A and B are shown apart, each in its own frame.
Chain A
Amino acid sequence: MEPSDRELMAALASGDRDALSLLMERHYRRIYRVALSYLRDPDEALDVVQETFVKAFQHAARWDARSEVGSWLTRIGINQAIDRYRRVRRRRASEEPIEDGAGDHDRRWSDSGPSPERQVMGHEMGARLAGALRGLPERQRAIVVLRHYEEMTLEEIARTLGLSLGTVKSSLHRAVHRLRERLGELRA
């Protein structure tokens, strides 16, 4: 019988690398998609996945057994993504203006759709969504990703990001309103 996530966390806390491998197998795709939705860059997203599991291994003993393992990993992942975005923004600010539309990275991952039609659609949509999401302040973007990509409840988002429920709600309203304005043509 397969060990549960909780059993794996207990093993991880004692330095069991096999437990880490199993946890990665179960969660790495989800963490990657959360990070990609936030950062819109496959390489940066991959680095976030890597950092998430390194931190999970190093801090497994601090995991609160009352919380779900998946949510705990997501919390590490989204916070890593926010940190990474800040670093990239600082670096780019000193080099060049931040792109608002689709960069090469968006093209790279959206080109990997299963059919040519979906590739074209995926490219266009991925690029526009990337631009619109990038236009959101980082906290609003994190809330949109956790709500609409990770399908977390508002309470879970509040706990994950260390915000009040009211702040999560008002930030989500502002974010949806901004996205509506920015994605007008694509919706039509």
Chain B
Amino acid sequence: MRLWHGRWRRRVLALAAGTLAEDALRTPVLAHLETCAACRAERLALQSTIDLLARDPARAAEPPLSLSALRARVLARIDAAAGQSRPRRPRWAPGLWLGAAAAALLAVAVWWPRAPLAPAPGVVASPPSATVAAEVPDEDFIRHLERVVAREHAARYLGEAGDVLVTVAARPRRCRKGHDHVDVGEEAQRSRELLARRSLLDVHEAAVANARPVLDDVEQVLREVASLESCARRHDLQAINRQVERSRLLLKIGLMTRELQG
């Protein structure tokens, strides 16, 4: 009897779970329910459970980030993934030549005072060509200067990005749309300016290679901030702040900035 009833209970479970699709299987179960109070109670309990799932608030939950901010986040991830698979910039890239030229000029400017301005009285001056040959900085020195300048730029960029994120995390002012909106116009504008500078850091990719993961994370968040309207939903801002907190981005920015500054 127990075994027999156990079989019906399994069928009642299947009926409630919606897996008895065919009428030929459902009809005998429905007929049995007419005669079995325990089975009816069981079916009711199972059906109530399924009804609870239908009332789950998660079914109507709104994403805690606007579509535009989410789109910015997705596009940043796609770009980051594309950047990782892209071959490294060749050594002869124009940006590098410009950088090298700038560094060479800087190097000459640094070295210039050490070159004799005029021969001392009684001292026979060396031929000009020999002096120039001795004072032109070598390639290693130029590369060193390039590296120092690039790392300094990256540190400054990260520092400014950190400032934007701290300002975003602080309670911004309300704006005209009501209490659930905040004014982030200035932060969005600063983010856009920083993003415009971001590509310049790639000119000296090797010098800031160790900062790349932090730079990519910062870029992603800046894109989100940049995509906000000047009077943005507080929800959107909170989602960005949570992302910053979860990834410990401000801590990483601080550590990397110090490392870049040597």
Give the interface of A toward B (CB within 8 A): 17, 20-21, 24-25, 28-29, 32-33, 36-37, 40, 42-43, 45-46, 49-51, 53-54, 57-58, 109-110, 112-113, 118, 122, 125-126, 129, 144, 147-149, 154, 169, 172-173, 176-177, 179-180, 183-184, 186-187
Contacts and interface: CB of A to CB of B under 8 A. Distances in A.
Contacts of A28: 63, 67, 70
Nearest to B64: A42
A25 B67 contact: yes
Contact of A179 (B49, B54, B246): B49
Interface residues of B, number: 40
B13 A176 contact: yes
Q: Which 7 A-B pairs have the closest CB atoms?
A: A122-B57, A187-B48, A32-B63, A148-B53, A180-B49, A176-B17, A169-B19
B206 interface: no
Interface stretch (B73-81, B95-103, B133-141): B73-81
B77 A50 contact: yes
Nearest to A39: B58
Interface centre among A46, A109, A129 (most CB of B within 10 A): A46
A5 to B, nearest CB: 17
Interface of B: 10, 13-14, 16-19, 21, 45-46, 48-50, 52-65, 67, 70-71, 73-75, 77-78, 81, 239, 242-243, 246
A184 B42 CA distance: 12
Contact of B78 (A58, A122, A126, A149): A58
23 contacts: A24-B70, A28-B63, A33-B58, A33-B59, A43-B239, A54-B77, A58-B78, A109-B58, A109-B61, A109-B64, A125-B57, A126-B58, A154-B19, A154-B21, A169-B19, A172-B17, A173-B10, A173-B13, A177-B13, A179-B49, A179-B53, A187-B45, A187-B52
